[in-house]
Structure 1
Amino acid sequence: MHPKTVLILGANSDVAKAAIVQYADRGYRIIAASRSTAELESFVQTGVPKGSNVTVLYFDATDFAGHGAFYRSLPEKPQIVLYAAGFQVPQEQALVDFEGSFRMMQVHYAGAVSILNIIATDPENPGLERIVGLSSLSGVRGRKSNFIYGSTKSAFTQYLAGLRQHLFPRKVIVNVIVAGYIRSKMTAGLDLPASLLMEPAFIAKAVVNAGNGFTIVPGWKWKLIHLFLKHAPEKLVAKLP
C-alpha cells in the first residue's frame, strides 16, 4: 500500500516529536515543519528510526503572508495534517504584556486559521483525509488562572468544530485533542500535580489513533475533569485556582 503523507505544523513541540516517531513507525512519509529547523533536524537524526522518510521544513505560524507560498512549496500534498504549534506566557504576564497575549492569539488561533484554510480549500488535494488540532482543557471553561491562554485554545477548538462541519461532505475528518497537563518544555518549571502529568508519547498516541469523533480527551482522569469543567455551576468553577 502506498504510504500516506503527514504534515506536522509546529513539529518541534514535544507532542509533535513523539507523533513523528509514531507515524514513522507506521511507515508514513512525514513533513515536519517548524521555526526551529536545526533542533528538529537534530531530533530526526537521533530520535527517529533509521530509514524513516522525514522532511524538515521551515514554518512560522505567525507569518500569515507566507503561508500560501509555504503550502505551495510542499514536496507533496498531505493526507493527514497535525497542527501542534504552541506558545504560552504566564497569566500574570499576559495581563500586562499585550505582545505576549497577542502572540498566543496568533500562534494558537490566527495562524491555525490561516494555514488550515489554505489546506482545507485546496482543490488540487482531493486526497486530504484528516486534520487534527492539538488544543487544551484550558479552553473548555474560562478560569481566572489562565483565561487568556485558555481563550486562544477555546477559539481554536471552535474553529475546528466548524471546519469539521464544513469538510463533512468531503468525508474529511477533523479531530481536536483536548489535552490536560503534559510533561513538556511549556510546563517545565510549573508547579503541577505529578499525578495529572501526561507524557508526550501518550498524547501523540491519541493523535495517531484518532478515530471519527471530534473531541478526544486523553487519560481517564482528564476525561472526568473535562466533564466537570463543561457542566459545573459557575460558583464552583470560580473557586478553582
Structure 2
Amino acid sequence: MKQVLILGANSDVAKEALKMYVSKGYPVVAASRSTAALETFLRQQQLPAELVTIRYFDATDFGSHRAFYDSLPARPQIVLYAAGYLKDNTIAMQDWEGSFNMMQVHYCGAVSILNIIATDLSNTHLERIIGLSSLSGVRGRKSNFIYGSTKAAFTQYLAGLRQHLFARRITVNVIVAGYIRSKMTAGLPLTESLMLEPAFIARAVVNAGQRFTIVPGFKWKIIYQVLRRMPERLVAKLP
C-alpha cells in the first residue's frame, strides 16, 4: 500500500483527493491547521479511521516543519501540497500581511516542507510530489498579480525540484488549475461556464502521470496555451 501525505488537506480539492486515495486502499496522513474540520469531514464521509491519520500542519510555521515530518507514522510515497490562501489583489496591495500570507502559504511554506521531504535520502520509497498551482501564475495580470506571482514562484520551484529528483526516479507534477468551485472562490465574479468541480481536479491529481504540467479541462488547456503565447500588449488589456 502506498503511503500518502496531503498538506493543506482541508482544501476542497484535497478532500476529494483524500477520498480517492482511500478508495484505493492507501493510508493517508491528512495535514492541516483545520483538524476539527477534517474530523467532521471524515465522519460525514464515513471514511475508515484506520486509513486516515489527521495531523496539525501550519504551512507558515516554518520552524515546526522538521518536527512535523519526523513525527509522521510512515514516510510518504506520494505527497500532495494543496495549501491555499487568497486575498483580493486591490486589498493585498495595501495590506502587506495579506500579501505576505499568500507568499508564505503558496511558496515559502511549500519550499520549507518539500525541501525536508525531498532531501530525506532514507525515504527510498518516495515516488511522487504533486503541487496544486494555478493558471494565475502563467502570466501577470492586473487583477490578481500578487496571488499569481506566488503561484508562479511555486510552479518554478516544482520545475527545478523535478530536475533535482530526476536521478532518484521521483516524479514531480504541477496541477495548473483554472477556476475551481470552492470555498476559496465563493462569491467571486467568475465565469460559470469555466468553473471546475474539486473532484475533477482531484482526479487529475490522483491519476497524474509522468508529465510535469497538468492542466485539467479542455477549455483550460486552450486558455493556458493562449496565455503563454499572448503578446504583452494583449495581456495588458486583460482584467
TM-score normalised per structure 2: 0.99
Match of 2:20?
22
The structure 1 residue matched to 2:220, chosen from 206, 219, 222, is 222
SS at match of 1:65: helix
Q: What amino acid sits opposite 1:231 in the alignment?
A: R
* Matched-pair identity in %: 70
Deviations 1:158-182 (A, max 9, x none): 0000000000000000000000000
Alignment of 1:17-96 (within 5 A): 17-50=15-48, 53-96=51-94
Query: In 2, distance between residues paired with 1:55 and 1:202?
Result: 24
Q: Determine the C-alpha separation between the residues in 2 that align with 1:87 and 1:51.
A: 28
Distance in 2 between residues matched to 1:47 and 1:219, nearest whole Å: 26
- For 1:64-100, what per-residue CA distance to the aligned partner results, in whole angstroms no more than 9, with x for missing partners? 0010000000000000000000001000111100000
Q: Which residue of 2 aligns with 1:142?
A: 140
- Closer/same/farther in 2, CA of residues 48 and 212 from structure 1, 3 Å limit: farther
Alignment equivalent of 2:115, drawn from 117, 124, 134: 117
Instruction: Give the Cα–Cα distance (whole angstroms) in 1 for the partners of residues 29 and 145 of structure 2.
Output: 33
Structure 2: tracts of 5 or more residues without a match: none
Name the CA distance, whole Å, in 2 between partners of 1:5 and 1:81.
9
- In structure 2, the CA distance between the partners of 1:51 and 1:57, relative to structure 1 (3 Å rule), is closer
How many Å apart are 1:219 and its aligned residue? 0.1
| Amino acid paired to 1:111 | G
Q: Is the 8 A contact 1:33 1:57 kept in 2?
A: yes
Equivalents in 1 of 2:38, 2:120: separation in Å?
27
The answer to whether the 8 A contact 1:10-1:16 is kept is yes
Distance (whole Å) between structure 1 residues aligned to residue 46 and residue 164 of structure 2: 35
Residue equivalent to 1:179: 177
Matching residue's letter, 1:226: Y
SS at match of 1:235: helix
DSSP 3-state at the match of 1:105: helix
Q: Does the 8 Å contact 1:24/1:48 carry over to 2?
A: no
Find out whether 1:238 has 2:202 as its counterpart.
no
Give 1:21's aligned amino acid.
Answer: K
Structure 1 stretches of at least 4 aligned residues deviating more than 6 Å after TM superposition: none
Instruction: Kindly indicate whether residue 169 of structure 2 is the aligned counterpart of residue 189 of structure 1.
Output: no
Would the aligned equivalents of 1:142 and 1:150 in 2 still touch at CA under 8 Å?
Answer: yes
Tell me, in whole angstroms, the C-alpha distance in 2 between the residues paired with 1:72 and 1:52: 20
**Residues 87-106 of structure 1 mapped to structure 2, 5 A cutoff:** 87-106=85-104
In structure 2, give the amino acid aligned to 1:215. T
Provide TM-score, normalisation by structure 1: 0.98
Q: Distance in 2 between matches of 1:51 and 1:70?
A: 20
CA contact (8 A) 1:37 1:57 kept: yes
3-state DSSP class of the match of 1:212? coil
CA distance in 2 between counterparts of 1:45 and 1:179 reads 28
State the AA in 1 paired with 2:80: L
CA distance in 1, matches of 2:49, 2:70: 26
For 1:133, what is the secondary structure of its paired residue?
A: strand
RMSD: 0.8
